[in-house]
Homo-oligomer: A and B are copies of this chain.
Amino acid sequence: MSCEQETALALHAAGRRSTTPRIKVASALQHAGGHLTAEEIHALIQETDHQAAIALSTVYRTLETLKEIRLVAEADGGPRATYEWVDREHPHSHLMCRACGREAMLPPQFVAEFASRIEATAGFEVHLDHFVVPGLCADCRATEGRA
């Protein structure tokens, strides 16, 4: 239950109310792990809680709210947006290949240094919690070179 208390605290700290739908969406994302679409989150909540269903539009709004207070990150890349819980202890970003679709981990210190350079020069606080860098992986570059 401590996860849920953490979510509630973070909401209060941001001046937002702690409500049942918010706790449920956050909880679903935390426990499922990985990338989920709004639809999947909605279904997951219905399964867990047959009684108190929440509306799909509420899921979307709630995800927007959780994104604003940086508990959740959105990762586009396709017809449907996906969402992931932000692990504050282990922030990470991805490299995503546009050719084969595979994802690789991006060393967090690269992002951290990039962010701190921007903060130092522009005074801008960078929010790259879970950031997807598009490009071509080494394998696909080799293939394209040959083709």
A residues lining the B interface (CB < 8 Å):
68, 76, 95, 97-98, 104, 106-107, 110, 114, 117-118, 121-128, 133-138, 141
- Residues B122 and A95 in contact, CB atoms below 8 Å apart: yes
Give the nearest-CB partner of A76 in chain B: B76
Q: How far is the CA of A88 from the CA of B125 in the complex (A)?
A: 28
Query: Within 8 Å CB of A134, what residues of B?
Result: 126-128
Query: Within 8 Å CB of A137, what residues of B?
Result: 123-124
- Residues A124 and B110 in contact, CB atoms below 8 Å apart: no
- Residues B141 and A135 in contact, CB atoms below 8 Å apart: no
How many copies altogether?
A: 2
Query: Within 8 Å CB of A104, what residues of B?
Result: 122, 124
A-B contact pairs, 12 of them (CB 8 A): A95-B124, A98-B127, A104-B122, A107-B121, A110-B114, A114-B114, A122-B138, A124-B138, A127-B133, A127-B135, A128-B133, A128-B134
- Residues B114 and A125 in contact, CB atoms below 8 Å apart: no
Query: Within 8 Å CB of A110, what residues of B?
Result: 114, 117-118
- Residues A136 and B141 in contact, CB atoms below 8 Å apart: no
Give the nearest-CB partner of A15 in chain B: B147
Q: How far is the CA of A89 from the CA of B125 in the complex (A)?
A: 28
- Residues B114 and A124 in contact, CB atoms below 8 Å apart: no
Q: How far is the CA of A114 from the CA of B95 in the complex (A)?
A: 13
Q: How far is the CA of A128 from the CA of B134 in the complex (A)?
A: 7
